[in-house]
Structure 1
Amino acid sequence: MGFWSSFWDIIWWFVWAFAFIAYLFALFAIIGDLFRDRKLNGWWKAVWILFLIFVPFLTALVYLIARGSGMAERGAAEARQAKDATDAYIQQVAGSSAADEIAKAKALLDSGAITAEDYAQLKAKALS
């Protein structure tokens, strides 16, 4: 009988594959968190990595229990920083507000660079 001849062997294989992939996700999350943590010095990072190599499942479990809350805080801080950077970029690319556009047009009118008619058109455009 081959591997694919038994339905339960296939189910068992999928369970083990799922567990292995879940472990890999946890392992990469832990390694990413280790290198993201600025408070932990390099020697402790090396110790965690060594234990992850030689006693992987137990070390991952201990890490998640001992440092899980800090891991969540660092992840939230990184997400907040990425959101702030995205918001700043969008604001920069989107341009200035209507009030800023009107103020610039008023400065151009006061300097004589544009006429009152041009100013009115710029103001209407900014308000639309």
Structure 2
Amino acid sequence: MDDYPLLELFWTMLWFFLWVMWLFLLFKIVTDVFRDHELSGWGKAGWLILCLLLPFLGVLVYVIARGTGMTQREMARAKETEAAFQDYVRTSAAGPPGGSGVGGAAELARLAELKEKGALTEEEFRKAKAKLLV
């Protein structure tokens, strides 16, 4: 035990933790590069080459240069996922379209909302409403 004191164990664990955190950040950056639709193909290739050839410097530069946008993209993606989930829950709870009761009322409310937003014309709304009420 004298060859490996407790302080060296602490430093080893600290370096291991920092290495794991760096790997996590590197994977997060690679996924962000591929998910960013505003970044061109050459921009994506450049960031990937920088992060893979000069890993520590590339990760540091990416976080400084694009860290804020990375957070905003992740939050927008989370909101889209949540909205899709909420829409799925609403449509699943409403039951099959054309059914009676709450499902039909929910579908009619959704059609009215689409008409108000301008996604449906008056004629399309009437046809969908007639189909729903039959």
Q: Do Structure 1 and Structure 2 share a fold, with TM-score over 0.5?
A: yes
* Contact 1:4 1:10 survives alignment (8 Å): no
Kindly provide the amino acid, as one letter, of the partner of residue 92 in structure 2: V
Tell me, in whole angstroms, the C-alpha distance in 2 between the residues paired with 1:3 and 1:38: 55
Which residue in the other structure is 1:94 paired with? Answer: 93
Structure 2 length-normalised TM: 0.68
The alignment's C-alpha RMSD in Å is 2.3
Query: Which secondary structure does the structure 1 equivalent of 2:13 belong to?
Result: helix
Q: Structure 1 residues 6, 88: CA separation in 2 closer, same or farther (over 3 Å shift)?
A: same
Deviation at 1:98, TM superposition (A): 7.7
Which residue in the other structure is 2:51 paired with? Answer: 52
Larger Rg computed on CA atoms: 1
Which residue in the other structure is 2:17 paired with? Answer: 18
Query: Which secondary structure does the structure 1 equivalent of 2:38 belong to?
Result: coil
Q: Structure 1 residues 38, 98: CA separation in 2 closer, same or farther (over 3 Å shift)?
A: closer
Which residue in the other structure is 2:99 paired with? Answer: none
Figure out how many residues of one structure are paired with residues of the other and give that number: 101
Which whole-Å deviations, capped at 9, do the CAs of 1:78-110 have from their partners, x for residues lacking one?
A: 001000010011001111638828x9xxxxxxx
Kindly provide the amino acid, as one letter, of the partner of residue 74 in structure 1: R
Which whole-Å deviations, capped at 9, do the CAs of 1:18-49 have from their partners, x for residues lacking one?
A: 00011011101101110010111111111111
Query: Which secondary structure does the structure 1 equivalent of 2:81 belong to?
Result: helix
Tell me, in whole angstroms, the C-alpha distance in 2 between the residues paired with 1:4 and 1:74: 49
Structure 1 segments, 4+ long, off by >6 Å, are none
Which stretches in structure 2 are left out of the alignment for 5+ residues? 96-101, 109-134
Kindly provide the amino acid, as one letter, of the partner of residue 26 in structure 2: L
Tell me, in whole angstroms, the C-alpha distance in 1 between the residues paired with 2:64 and 2:54: 16
Which residue in the other structure is 2:98 paired with? Answer: none
Tell me, in whole angstroms, the C-alpha distance in 2 between the residues paired with 1:55 and 1:20: 15
Q: Structure 1 residues 23, 72: CA separation in 2 closer, same or farther (over 3 Å shift)?
A: same
Q: Structure 1 residues 3, 16: CA separation in 2 closer, same or farther (over 3 Å shift)?
A: farther
Percent identity of the aligned residues? 36
* Contact 2:25 2:59 survives alignment (8 Å): yes
